[in-house]
Amino acid sequence: MPLRALGELPGAIGLVREGARLERGEGPADAIVVLGARVLPGGVPSGSLRARAEGAAELWKTGVAPRVVTTGATHGQPPGEAVVARALLIELGVPPEVVLVEEKSRNTWGNFAFARSLVGGPRVYVVTEPFHMGRALLLGRMAGFDPVPWPVESPAWRRPVDRVRLLTRDAVSAAFVRAGARTR
């Protein structure tokens, strides 16, 4: 697998670069999927998770989808990513009854695979940062969705050194996905 992934790296770099440049999509969808991100000790959302929840709340308020699905398991101490994102969405004015929680997934592939039963149809908005969008859309399509980008800017995306690190990390992960492994 590592040698195959190495061969996929140039295409994966292109995928991630293209994903980082995508504009926000348009039109109705079956759901908004908020991809999981790290939760800090004490249940504090990371900048990425906060940006994703804020972006999803903004999108939901436009009326393009009837439900929001938060994703992500507990890593270490509770609460988990999906639970924290749900709380943020409710704080931001999204009604609790439209926010569904998928808390089994431990990576982006799992976010989509486990959210399948909650979304209500194939067309979903994918809320994540630009560095993650290309790989996220690829995994969403692999999971049978018609994913629509809704990129959000986190504090890390605004810092040039973090932007380069995150784009590089996602390109390597995308190379493994393209080589046949389903990774974060």
39, part of any domain? yes
Task: Quote the pTM value.
Answer: 0.95
Q: Do β-strands 39-40 and 44-45 pair in parallel, antiparallel, or remain unpaired?
A: antiparallel
What pLDDT, in 10s, does the model give residues 153-177? 999 999 999 999 999 999 999 999 9
108, part of any domain? yes
Cα–Cα nearest to 140, from 177, 179, 97: 177
160, part of any domain? no
**What's the domain range around 62?**
23-154
Residue 184 has pLDDT above 60, yes or no: no
Q: Do β-strands 123-128 and 146-151 pair in parallel, antiparallel, or remain unpaired?
A: parallel
Helix (H, G, I), strand (E, B) or coil at 63: coil
1, part of any domain? no
115, part of any domain? yes
In the chain, how many domains are there?
1
79, part of any domain? yes
135, part of any domain? yes
The CATH number linked to 57 is: 3.40.50.620
56, part of any domain? yes
What pLDDT, in 10s, does the model give residues 3-41? 899 999 999 999 999 999 999 999 999 999 999 999 999
Total Cβ atoms within 10 A of residue 93 = 10
- Average pLDDT of the residues in 124-129: 98
The Cα–Cα gap between 133 and 148 comes to 10
